Amino acid sequence: MTATSPSHRRRTLLAVSALTALSLSLAACGGDDLEEKGGSGEEGGGGSLTIGGAGFTEATIMTQLYAQILEDAGYSTTIETVEGRELYWPELESGGIDIVPEYAATAAEFLNAQVNGADAEPVASSDVEATVTALRELAEPRGLTVLDAGEAVDQNAFAVTEEFADEHDLTTLTDLGESGLPIRLAAGEDCPERPFCQPGLEETYGIDITEVDPQGVGTVQGKQAVQNGDDDMALVVTTDATLKDFDLVLLEDDKNLQLADNLLPVLNTGSASDEGIATALNRLTAELTTDDLIELNRQVDSERRQAEDVARDYLEEHGLLEN
């Protein structure tokens, strides 16, 4: 995700010193024998795979989707939940974790900073193909394989009330800029400095941001502030499943201000090189849409269903389980 996202809200990087105190949460989805890894390079070679990821709802759902479609393809899988990209990426590179669901732009900029320093020129953009290419160039020398990205994307977005949008005939951020309306924005406290938040809205769309209300990204408080009329617009994410609960709608980022944070699998090249792994994950990636993610998130967050059950139902309904 981009710098203003809550990982965002959910994907916040933990200090490296936390490594010494980390207690990894393991949720078995198959056999526990990790001695035989799925790295023979042959179609359907079987073996054991560890799927890693962060602990927020969407990541939990994605790891379940990966684990279950790979089990159906003949692999034994274990899920390892790690609260922070700085912690699970070293495990991915070492082979302690074999596969993670990732976000193209966020992963590219994370590796960019690792390889070229925190002040490196950005390599991610709103162009998903160029962003994935940049990610691969950074990942491959580190022993990682980046599979293709799909349509599903979780990136920054901006929401207003449906009433506000209707009153001012708004469907896009361009419409909002052209309206000349003064906007009080509920967002993260770093929004005034982030190119994809206040500066981007002002420079790309000409939106008049009069004040940033530091409510965070996609928080209940921020959405309530817009619903109640205390703020005019909130910074959220495209896969937020609760917008309707607050009578909010997204304004389209029609000039592509936000980076291409499309979902894709990243694999340890040595331990997850079976062709069957890529085949199974590519089938899922090609099927999954942003609307699908919103619905899956809604079922877990609003209906309080278990991510494991939600993932299984999705795979079955979309014909992705063959065995």
Q: Where are the domains of the chain?
A: 16-153+260-317, 156-251
**Residue 262's pLDDT is what?**
98
Q: What is the CATH number of domain 156-251?
A: 3.40.190.120
List of the chain residues with pLDDT < 70: 1-45
**Residue 36's pLDDT is what?**
54
Whole-prediction pTM value? 0.85
**Residue 37's pLDDT is what?**
61
**Residue 93's pLDDT is what?**
97
**Residue 11's pLDDT is what?**
40
Contact between 79 and 100 (Cβ < 8 Å): no
- Residue 95's region, left for phi above 0, alpha for psi from -120 to 50, else beta, is left
Residues 6 or more apart whose Cβ sits within 8 Å of residue 217: 4, 5, 6, 8, 9, 156, 187, 188, 235, 236, 237
- Asked if CATH classification 3.60.40.10 holds for the domain at 16-153+260-317, the reply, yes or no, is no
pLDDT in tens, 70-126: 999 999 999 999 988 999 999 999 999 999 999 999 999 999 999 999 999 999 999
* Domains 16-153+260-317 and 156-251 are alike in CATH topology: yes
